[in-house]
Structure 1
Amino acid sequence: MTTRSSTPAPDRKQGGAVLIVCLVMLTILTIIGIGTTTDISFQSNMVRNSQLRLNAFNTALSELNGQYRKMVDENSEDILTEALSTGQATIPAADLTQTSADNPFDQTASVVYLEEGLGQITGTTIGSATSNSAYYFELNSIVELDNTGVGSSQTSGIVRLAPTE
């Protein structure tokens, strides 16, 4: 003998509404996931470019400081004499201070002769223009990373007293 339940049978008219709602939710979650991945990739590229620019700046500034110390410590007048006679002297690649095997940057350093004028230290004139004039130079350091637009150019001034006659 079979017994029938007094509860009515479930309504079969849903027609897959739960499936459609689940598919819509999965689509929304997929779009959010793709957007987040794209944003993270974009931010990673910004961080990498920022690090490259900072490395280029530091390399150029270190090269500038190294060349300046080298000129002061070694009293190297040859590069300044060349700049004085030709207007500009490029420091040879072998004499650059910041080159290494893992350095990805192209570097150049140069000295440019600007003018001759009165030598002044802290606002006081050192002497007359004929006896103690000074030569004004500009020390340039340029660092670039090929085909990226990343680079830095740093400049420092150098004043040397002209030799007395």
Structure 2
Amino acid sequence: MQKNNAATIKSNTPAPDRKQGGAVLIVCLVMLTILTIIGIGTTTDISFQSNMVRNSQLRLNAFNTALSELNGQYRKMVDENREDILNEAQFSGPVTIPAADLTQTSANNPFSQEVTVVYLAPCGSGQATGSMIGSGSPFQEFCFELNSIVELDNTGVGSSQTSGIKRLVPK
């Protein structure tokens, strides 16, 4: 068996002062504060960008709903020969199409919609131009507007689309 004969060396010099031991703690706290501020700023920025994307999607949905409603109403007028609406608009003023006759309604459609038919004037009379039939034709053109307004309540999101209609009638 061997004994450990390690000798202890003693020094008469005192240990160095530890006055700078708190500086590391302060630097770490400053670094954590900076990282926290960066994290909060990033979270706020991501939330802002998410809201921008959501609003853009809502606006696009409103536009598509309004445009699809115009196309649907036009097809419905052609397929069902809805001259009564055009006659009423021509002789009684703007006509609002009833909600029951709207084509872009469903249970999950969050938009409020309004579609109107407005008589403008005989085509080529100065207000509405671009008549394509000559003066010797046995027909007369009347110009109408089909307006579709779609809005999402309490958001400011909406879309207003207009389509022109020419109607030929015998003179």
The normalised TM-score by structure 2 is: 0.85
In 1, are the aligned partners of 2:113 and 2:148 still within 8 Å (CA)?
yes
Q: Secondary structure at the match of 2:170?
A: coil
**In the alignment, what sits opposite 1:26?**
32
In 2, the alpha carbon distance for the partners of 1:114 and 1:62 equals 22
Post-superposition Cα deviations, 1:73-93, rounded to whole Å, max 9, x if no partner, equal: 111111111101112111110
**In the alignment, what sits opposite 1:102?**
108
The 4+ residue runs of structure 1 with deviation greater than 6 A are: none
**Aligned length, in residue pairs:** 161
Unaligned runs of at least 5 residues, structure 2: 1-5
**In the alignment, what sits opposite 2:17?**
11
Counterpart residue type for residue 159 of structure 1: K
**In the alignment, what sits opposite 1:128?**
136
In 2, the alpha carbon distance for the partners of 1:74 and 1:107 equals 21
Flag the 1:5–1:114 CA change in 2: closer, same or farther, 3 A.
farther
**In the alignment, what sits opposite 2:169?**
162
Is 1:83 equivalent to 2:95 in the alignment? no
Matches within 5 A, 1:139-150: 139-150=146-157
In 2, the alpha carbon distance for the partners of 1:134 and 1:143 equals 29
Flag the 1:5–1:67 CA change in 2: closer, same or farther, 3 A.
farther
In 2, are the aligned partners of 1:118 and 1:128 still within 8 Å (CA)?
no
In 2, are the aligned partners of 1:118 and 1:126 still within 8 Å (CA)?
no
Decide which structure has the larger Cα Rg and report it.
2
Q: CA RMSD for the aligned pairs?
A: 2.3
Q: Secondary structure at the match of 1:16?
A: helix
Q: CA deviation at 1:72?
A: 1.1
